[in-house]
């Protein structure tokens, strides 16, 4: 098999397929390599995304992909104090990640992108200052390819970018996470996500319950130092509120994966090379939400790939515009969210209790409802920044609930 392509995209996650769509639609020859035999599987994501984020991407999802919509979030402190916020209309939704990934791949395919499954890309030996191709392992058969541009969308396990001399994400800011499907959830409001803080089961992150319309739910948590499997069992069996809600539940699936929380990597381009999505740690440091941010950066990368092919230029100087553009869009927010994450990581459970007290005392839910746009643009953050207690409290709640 001989594979010839202008743009090789490594990984058919949401970021890879979305960049393929924009690169292919203006005529570039685009091939996406995915190591698994099926797109979207295995999935390891809670699929909780902001409706506003999807709208800004111009993504209208078929109803079959959207499992539920939410207009409310309920937060529980380590000692189970409660804080909740309710919006007049839905602000987030839960998507089925397997179907979302397949949907994005189908649209990219319809624009001409080719998908090669069961095809694992490996770096070739590095040549001086230039991405000089990849080895593709197609079920044991090796094929060398030399595309003009490589887009690395491998997710958190990325190896290729290191070969390009780029610095990977900050290992110190990674949480080990688990996502599980559960049947028979009780006593949850169907239009509300639940967020639980507590170092015992989710040090350096939080646990969540995301109900679906059919009485099942997706639950999960992240932990810096703990064992995610044991933390999940502790949360399900011992948490004084959550265990009651899950008393009739059985796990129907459990997957483990890590989430990078250290903010984007310092450089995301090289000669003939771009990095997008989790591989570039384009993930919200507070919530671990990476779908919308990854798609946003993937769209920029795909369009730039198309202009590279059109103009026949693949130099790092040309590709720098990718980094300029994604930074213009998300750098400020990412910086703020990283500060909020660092602040959250320093809080003991006792301090977290005080944050809950403050949120209720300040009636923070009323300010949150005023803000409406939960993606938090620069303008909104600056407005809230005028009230430091409100901002600190907000960091704990809002950033943790809405991805
Ligand atoms: C437990 C958990 C819950 C989460 N919940 C949410 C949430 O609710 N909302 C949200 O927005 N985000 C969430 N995230 C984060 C979200 O899942 C990621 O940000 C998102 O999947 C990143 O997309 P991506 O396309 O960059 O990478 P991925 O989705 O990881 O896709 C990478 C793809 O590349 C393939 N691949 C990797 N290496 C190679 C190779 N060498 N050759 C060929 N193929 C390769 C992989 O098989 C995979 O298909 C969660 C993450 C975890 C772990």
**pLDDT, tens digit (0-9, with 9 covering 90-100), for 171-224:** 889 999 999 999 999 999 999 999 999 999 999 999 999 999 999 999 999 999
In a domain, 49, yes or no: no
In a domain, 323, yes or no: yes
Looking at the CA of residue 291, tell me the nearest atom of ligand 1: 11
In a domain, 62, yes or no: no
Backbone phi and psi for residue 285, each to the nearest 5 degrees, phi listed first = -65, -20
DSSP 130: B
Asked whether residue 35 falls in the same domain as residue 182, the answer is no
Q: How many residues does the chain have?
A: 403
Cα first-last separation, the chain: 42
In a domain, 60, yes or no: no
Asked whether residue 33 falls in the same domain as residue 125, the answer is yes
Domain housing 253: 72-90+172-260
Asked whether residue 366 falls in the same domain as residue 352, the answer is yes
Of the residues 313, 334, 355, the one at which a domain ends: 334
15 lines ligand 1 (CB under 6 A): yes
In a domain, 66, yes or no: no
Instruction: Measure the CA dihedral 356/46/22/163, to 10°.
Output: 90
Can you give the pLDDT at residue 183?
95
User: Ligand 1 centroid to 111 CA: how many Å?
Assistant: 23
User: Ligand 1 centroid to 66 CA: how many Å?
Assistant: 18
CATH number of the domain where residue 136 is located: 3.50.50.60
CATH number of the domain where residue 249 is located: 3.30.9.10
Asked whether residue 106 falls in the same domain as residue 239, the answer is no
Asked whether residue 114 falls in the same domain as residue 179, the answer is no
In a domain, 250, yes or no: yes
Asked whether residue 25 falls in the same domain as residue 136, the answer is yes
Question: What share of the chain has pLDDT > 70, as a percent?
Answer: 89
User: Ligand 1 centroid to 258 CA: how many Å?
Assistant: 9
220 lines ligand 1 (CB under 6 A): yes
> Ligand 1: which residue has its CA nearest to atom 4?
45
In a domain, 51, yes or no: no
Asked whether residue 177 falls in the same domain as residue 221, the answer is yes
User: Ligand 1 centroid to 400 CA: how many Å?
Assistant: 19
User: Ligand 1 centroid to 16 CA: how many Å?
Assistant: 10
Which residue's entry shows tokens 């948490």?
239
Render pLDDT for 71-93 as a digit per residue (tens, 0 to 9): 999 999 999 999 998 999 999 99
User: Ligand 1 centroid to 393 CA: how many Å?
Assistant: 29
Asked whether residue 324 falls in the same domain as residue 396, the answer is no
Asked whether residue 326 falls in the same domain as residue 185, the answer is no
Looking at the CA of residue 17, tell me the nearest atom of ligand 1: 25
Looking at the CA of residue 282, tell me the nearest atom of ligand 1: 19
In a domain, 382, yes or no: yes
Of the residues 198, 225, 260, the one at which a domain ends: 260
User: Ligand 1 centroid to 148 CA: how many Å?
Assistant: 25
Asked whether residue 254 falls in the same domain as residue 266, the answer is no
Q: How confident is the model at residue 232 (pLDDT cuts 50, 70, 90)?
A: very high
Residue 42: cis peptide before it, omega within 30 degrees of 0:
yes
285 lines ligand 1 (CB under 6 A): no
Can you give the pLDDT at residue 325?
98
Of the residues 205, 236, 260, the one at which a domain ends: 260
* Rounded average pLDDT over 110-129: 86
Total domains, the chain: 3
> Ligand 1: which residue has its CA nearest to atom 19?
290
Q: How confident is the model at residue 374 (pLDDT cuts 50, 70, 90)?
A: very low
Residues 6+ away with beta carbon under 8 Å from 282: 15, 264, 276, 290, 293, 294, 296, 297, 326, 330, 334
> Ligand 1: which residue has its CA nearest to atom 12?
289
Render pLDDT for 292-333 as a digit per residue (tens, 0 to 9): 999 999 999 999 999 999 999 999 999 999 999 999 999 998
Looking at the CA of residue 290, tell me the nearest atom of ligand 1: 19
Nearest Cα neighbor of 231 from 286, 288, 180, 178 is 178
Asked whether residue 160 falls in the same domain as residue 202, the answer is no
Looking at the CA of residue 47, tell me the nearest atom of ligand 1: 8
Mutate to test the pocket of ligand 1, among 150, 154, 254, 298 (most ligand atoms within 8 A of CB): 154
User: Ligand 1 centroid to 15 CA: how many Å?
Assistant: 8
Asked whether residue 40 falls in the same domain as residue 123, the answer is yes
């Amino acid at each position: 098999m001989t594979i010839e392509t202008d743009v090789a995209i490594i990984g058919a996650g949401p970021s890879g397929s979305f960049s393929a769509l924009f690169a292919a639609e203006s005529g570039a020859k685009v091939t996406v390599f995915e190591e698994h035999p099926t797109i979207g599987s295995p999935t390891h994501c809670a699929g909780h995304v902001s409706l506003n984020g999807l709208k800004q991407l111009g993504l209208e999802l078929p109803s079959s992909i959207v499992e539920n919509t939410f207009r409310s979030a309920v937060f529980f402190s380590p000692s189970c104090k409660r804080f909740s916020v309710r919006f007049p209309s839905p602000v987030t939704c839960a998507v089925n990640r397997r179907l979302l990934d397949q949907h994005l791949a189908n649209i990219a395919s319809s624009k001409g992108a080719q998908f090669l499954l069961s095809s694992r890309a490996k770096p070739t030996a590095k040549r001086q200052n230039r991405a000089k191709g990849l080895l593709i392992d197609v079920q044991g058969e090796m094929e060398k390819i030399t595309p003009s541009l490589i887009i690395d969308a491998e997710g958190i396990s990325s190896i290729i970018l290191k070969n390009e001399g780029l610095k990977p994400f900050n290992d110190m800011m990674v949480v080990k996470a688990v996502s599980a499907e559960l049947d028979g959830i009780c006593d949850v409001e169907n239009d509300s996500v639940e967020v639980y803080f507590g170092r015992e089961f989710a040090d350096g992150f939080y646990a969540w319950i995301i109900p679906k319309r059919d009485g099942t739910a997706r639950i999960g948590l992240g932990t810096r130092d703990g064992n995610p499997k044991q933390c999940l069992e502790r949360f399900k069996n011992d948490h004084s509120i959550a265990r009651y809600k899950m008393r009739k539940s059985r796990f129907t699936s459990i997957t483990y994966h890590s989430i990078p929380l250290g903010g984007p990597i310092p450089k995301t381009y090289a000669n003939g090379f771009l990095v997008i999505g989790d591989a570039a740690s384009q993930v919200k440091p507070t919530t671990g939400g990476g779908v919308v941010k990854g798609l946003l950066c993937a769209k920029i990368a795909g369009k730039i790939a198309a202009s590279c092919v059109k103009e026949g230029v693949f130099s790092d100087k040309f590709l720098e515009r990718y980094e300029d553009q994604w930074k213009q869009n998300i750098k400020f927010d990412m910086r703020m969210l990283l500060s909020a994450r660092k602040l959250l990581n320093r809080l003991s459970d006792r301090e977290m209790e005080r944050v809950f007290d403050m949120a209720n005392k300040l009636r923070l839910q009323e300010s949150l409802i005023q803000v409406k746009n939960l993606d938090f643009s620069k303008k909104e953050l600056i407005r809230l920044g005028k009230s430091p207690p409100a901002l600190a409290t907000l960091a704990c709640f809002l950033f943790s609930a809405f991805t």
